[in-house]
Amino acid sequence: MSTLPKRTELAKEQTWNLEALFASEAEWRKALEEAARGVEAVRPFAGRLGESPQVLLEALEIHQNRMLEAMKVLQYASLQLATEGTNPNFTRMVGEARAVVAELAAAGAYLEPELLSLPQATLERFIEAEPRLAIYRHYFEALQIRQPHIQSGEVEAVLAAASDPLGAHAATANAATNADMQFRAVEHQGQSLPVSHSTIGELLVHPSPEVRKAAWESYADGHLAFKNTLTHTLQGSIKSFVFQARTRGYKDSLEMALAGSRTCGDNIPRTVYDHLLATFQAHLPTWHRFWRIRKKALGGKLHSYDAPIYDAPAPLVPSPKISFWEAAEIICRGMAPLGPEYVEPMRRGLFEERWVDWGQNQGKRAGAFSSGLKGTFPYIFMSWSNDIFSLSTLAHELGHSMHSYFTRQTQPIIYARYSLFIAEVASNFNQALVRAMLLREAQTPEHKLAVLEEAFSNFHRYLFVMPTLARFELELYQRIEKGGALTAPFLIERLAELFAEGYGGEVELDKERLGAGWMNFSHLYSPFYVYQYATGIAAANALARDVLEQGEPAAKRYLDFLKAGDSVYPLEALRIAGIDMTSPEPVERGFAVLASMVDELERLVG
């Protein structure tokens, strides 16, 4: 760990198979040029959608296919930049691809306003005359719901063209964080341990508290050096979304976010958000008890660096060493209750098709994600650390990727995506199912405690950090909507206050560095994304329990949920699997699972 290798020094098996997207940059540039020409293919249908069923079908198909081609170009560039954030060529490629996507979106901005101008009777007649239009029925109905917030073709064209500059705040924050930020190395036993986005996770679970403390402080200080820059980028991002919500006539930003801006919308009622925050605050005593037990187990003291908000709490026992390939086999065994229909393509992705980029290298950005499009692999980005936490991350991202795999295999382009609201269900479901197997197979109290540590890491992020960030984020939007402004001192102080409430006085706080934690979450540039992690883990654990207790019928329901994509609204997709998220009951069940694990923790550590 003394020196991270360059990207070119990694073994091929540690990197993803981007050659399957484009064999070379030259091939990518040809695709970029072709995507740019798609603008002229889309424009001629403006004002003609009502001419005939055939014209309408052709317009929809050409727009979707051209946009898919452009998004593949952007995906390739973005994936390259994720692994080498300091490479100016990849930065340039991302900028070029984003510009083409924005231009194409602007060229097709007439589609939805013009569709809404067509009488419902005309659309029904078109569907009857051209059966291939029938797949668009849900899309047409979703448009009707969104109608009050869709503007004229001219305004929609402006909003689409502005998407690139309006989204520049996130790109600026990404460049500052992943390319320009520097961190002090940690000195330990004669070694200089580099602190970076790809190594911080491993350092924060290091057996030495001195290493953990030094790494946490170095990482926080690196972010604090950019606190004013990142305050302005976050404020700019929020103002951009507030502007869009007002332009579209929503009551506030949260209403627009819950409605969903995707092709078919989300239609999440406000009560889902409110239920989550209320249930979370009601169950804070469970978290206070958790921190109290950990403090006792660690000798009576628990510090901010023992409970980093962007990573796992300091371990009570060391993680067993697990290689990437061992973890891949464990996950395949853990997901066996879903049958070969699920496990076989996942195994191919892991062992043959190289879906996963897991090596550590200089310039690789932080975090983990799954990314793909219809017709591509569901790629996974992460940095491997040979421990149970990396296994958990891999299981999580495979949940996303398998969700994408089944949706794209089953649905046409128009429905080949799914809402962020249900995305975190599939990822947490994998973790829950694999974890259940590991707990059953644990041979010693130490091994069981190590598995529980992974579970607490997961629940800490999803049912502690993310609901806290959801409270924080809502306050920021409300502050901007009332004409206020954000400052670095305010953001730092307010976030520290919210987490202090969650710690219940059991953690000794370094408030400045703790409060700087908002800079660790690029999620805040996706408005009102973070609350969906909490609803996701609640639904996932309930579904995993159903599969383990009911077997094949529950497994089939779950696979049908994965295949639904955007063909139904997200709450309806969850009902297919057997979950009603309009009630607080699933979140209550999530906290019941947490409480039972806290009971087990107390039994194991005494």
> Burial of 487 by CB count in 10 Å (0-12 exposed, 13-18 middle, 19+ buried)?
middle
Burial letters for 168-199: b for 16+ Cβ neighbours within 10 Å, e otherwise?
A: bbbbbbbbbbbbebebebbebeeeebbbbbbb
CB 22 within 8 A of CB 361: no
Q: pLDDT, tens digit, for every residue of 201-228?
A: 889 888 899 999 999 999 999 999 999 9
Report d(CA 150, CA 200) in Å as an integer: 44
Distance CA 239, CA 243 (A): 6
Q: Write the DSSP symbol of residue 262.
A: S
> Please, which pLDDT band fits residue 327 given cuts at 50, 70 and 90?
very high
What are the residue ranges of helices labelled H in 482-584?
Answer: 488-503, 511-515, 531-550, 552-564, 570-577
Q: What is the pLDDT of residue 420?
A: 86
pLDDT in tens, 250-276: 999 999 999 986 667 788 999 999 999
Please report the pLDDT score of residue 145 as a whole number: 82
- The tokens for 278 are 């209320």
Contact 276, 464 (CB under 8 A): no
In the annotation, is 255 catalytic? no
Average pLDDT rounded to a whole number, residues 308-325: 90
Q: Which helix (H) or strand (E) holds 164?
A: helix 163-166
No. of helices (H) and no. of strands (E), the chain? 27, 5
d(CA 326, CA 221): 36
| pTM, to two decimals | 0.84
- pLDDT at position 171 is 85
Q: State residue 1's pLDDT score.
A: 42
pLDDT in tens, 18-70: 999 999 999 999 999 999 999 999 999 999 999 999 999 999 999 999 999 99
The residues spanned by each domain of the chain are 7-168
Q: What is the mean pLDDT of the chain?
A: 93
Q: How far is CA 456 from the centre of its chain?
A: 19
- The percent of residues above 70 in pLDDT, for the chain, comes to 99
Measuring CA to CA, how many Å separate 352 from each of 11, 337, 344, 345?
A: 15, 22, 11, 10
Q: Of 103, 397, 424, 454, which one is the catalytic site residue? A: 397
Q: Select, from the ranges 106-110, 156-160, 408-412, the one with the highest average predicted confidence (pLDDT).
A: 408-412
Between vectors from CA 221 to CA 216 and to CA 224, what angle results, nearest 5°? 130
Q: Does domain 7-168 have CATH number 1.20.140.70?
A: yes
Tokens of 551: 């077997």
